[in-house]
Structure 1
């Protein structure tokens, strides 16, 4: 029952959540701030809270920052990096930049508003539109921008959801959980059907019965741990999570990268493509895959 209700509430036609296809997670829709929407967010929090209270997982994919917020923790740049890697990398680049930030980035403490028309903007600090981002104040800019992205822009939605959840799950017991514990309780163990991934795979330079391909899937199914399988999924696609509908929705491409060599496998996550040389043995394939996953 809980799974069916939550699945309905998460559907795009309700407009409550937006699906991040890169990270395969759901996040609050900043535009859904009308009273009727907020009541639905509250209901969603109550339903998920009831599922947790009854020891039932609902299998919904939220970024870890949501579980931090449910526990009253303040979001950080690390949370943004996990929720929105592109934005996270951009802000990290700003912090690491060794030249003159003001001259190169040309930023002020005014940013585009989320959930409004393209011409709308918001000031991160008072008079932000007149204050340039410099080497001296860039840490403050990043702090305030993360705060806006993960808190202020969806404050009403998150507050309604959290109040619904805490109506059922609150008190001292909740403080015993880490964000990762809470994620496991709500989502349950990750259901990663690599047989479905294999069935959807396509090949370039290889074919399903090629010896290397048979070695590859044998390694994945029989020798890799669940953590290694997640690492492989992230290495090939950019995310260790299953998309809506399961791994069968991913059309991974395994491409021949020349004859046997000492090169390790490499990937193009934009196209979910794994490139593997035609190694001479299964043992060599396993060794090279492990190197790629460790340093990928």
Structure 2
């Protein structure tokens, strides 16, 4: 006999005390394990919104951390990436609070000690300045809440400035001239330079870049980093495969899949290969690598082609970048607690870090809040009419102007706190924003045409910097 329990998210029920629900979840865990091995349905089919909405973070989180009693966090397949992001935020906020308290105590007995991790950078040297300052920071410093200042600008960082900071960092790091990563022209994705690096200076740079990524995750910032899913799999120690290579390098991936599928009699003639491969080095040079010892003398056959592909994938994602990736990982985990990521699948972790590229402004409108306006105020109606008629690039500029990022958070724009506040009567002033709090300030412009002209001019200045008004 199977007992079914219906969970009503609005009902004040103690889920962990319901034996039927606990038993059902244990059964669901078995189904999830089977699905993970066979991919019958998408892992997202196991998400349970009713449970997500009904559980209490304050009650469940301590049980999970203490391994005391039943906790829904021990069954992460039930929770979507947004809920798991909330778990990570709780972890990080607790750590930040501890570091804040410790800094006050250290200040009392040792002397001046900043309660924040403060980076002061120049816009035209953002990576160099960041790396130089991070190299001197202790583990305790990295666990503090981040504050960023741009040299020559007056803005106070309550979250908005660091959003732009990380965007500038990503733009510079992945510039091909920087030489740290290689870009595939078809997928437009990047991977570590295929070179077994031994230079300690270069390895330290990869470690500090990993530290920057860790800081973004730790401080809940999304990054438009052009990495494939394979990066997030490797960070979570999940095996990578041919599908991951196809995402990164579609041409090579298609070729290897064709190799595995080809069964005509002319196989040996067509694939007159050995276990020695050629690849592009970091400076445009062609290098060779033996997938097996004396690979140049081992011919490729139908019998060993699966081994050839497996070793090829392993070379691209592991062996060729071993030292660089290890240093990068050390940088990430110098900030982010390794144990706090165990609830994530690689796909969910990627969404947490990268955010959502799909911009649903209808969802943003439905979730918007207003200060000094009503939802049916004429200017609010005009504003959303203008926004929905914008091009995608204009919408991205509006999002960046208001929030400091042109990406949607995990779960989409429907999960973004977005406020439109009244800034006075009709005026020639441009709209302004508080990016730290995702607040757009609008005057009560006399006409829709004036509102559109002022708004589009303002978002055109989105990268002008941060100043106090």
Which consecutive residues of structure 2, in runs of 5 or more, have no partner in the other structure? 1-164, 362-387, 390-405, 408-469
1:209-235 Cα offsets, whole Å, 9 max, x none, are xxxxxxxxxxxx89xxxxxxxxxxxxx
Deviates more, 1:163-172 or 1:86-95: 163-172
Task: Tell me the residue number matched to 2:312.
Answer: 145
How many angstroms does 1:3 deviate by? 2.6
- State the alpha-carbon separation in 1 of the partners of residues 338 and 286 from structure 2: 43
| SS of 2:206 mapped into structure 1 | helix
CA distance in 2, matches of 1:136, 1:193: 50
User: Which residue matches 1:56?
Assistant: 221
Q: Name the SS of the counterpart of 1:74 in structure 2.
A: coil
Deviations 1:32-86 (A, max 9, x none): 8343222111111111111101111122121111111111122101111111111
2:99 aligned with 1:99, yes or no? no
TM-score scaled to structure 1, two decimals? 0.61
Q: For 1:7, which of 165, 171, 174 is the aligned residue?
A: 171
TM-score by length of 2: 0.39
**Per-residue displacement from partner, 1:91-145 (whole Å, max 9, x unpaired)?**
0111001124322210111111442775642110122111111011110011111
List structure 1 runs of 4+ shifted beyond 6 angstroms: none
Per the alignment, residue 278 of structure 2 pairs with 112
The match for 1:167 is: 334
Greater shift, 115-124 or 57-66, is seen at: 115-124
1:149 Cα deviation from its structure 2 partner: 1.4
DSSP-derived class of the 1:156 partner: helix
Moved more, 90-99 or 25-34: 25-34
- Counterpart of 2:344 in structure 1 is 177
- Counterpart of 1:71? 236
Q: Give the number of equivalent residue pairs.
A: 198
Partner of 2:180: 16
* Matches of 1:109 and 1:25, distance apart in 2: 26
Equivalent positions of 1:233-252 (< 5 A) are: none
For structure 1, which segment, 164-173 or 110-119, has the greater mean C-alpha deviation from structure 2 after superposition?
A: 110-119
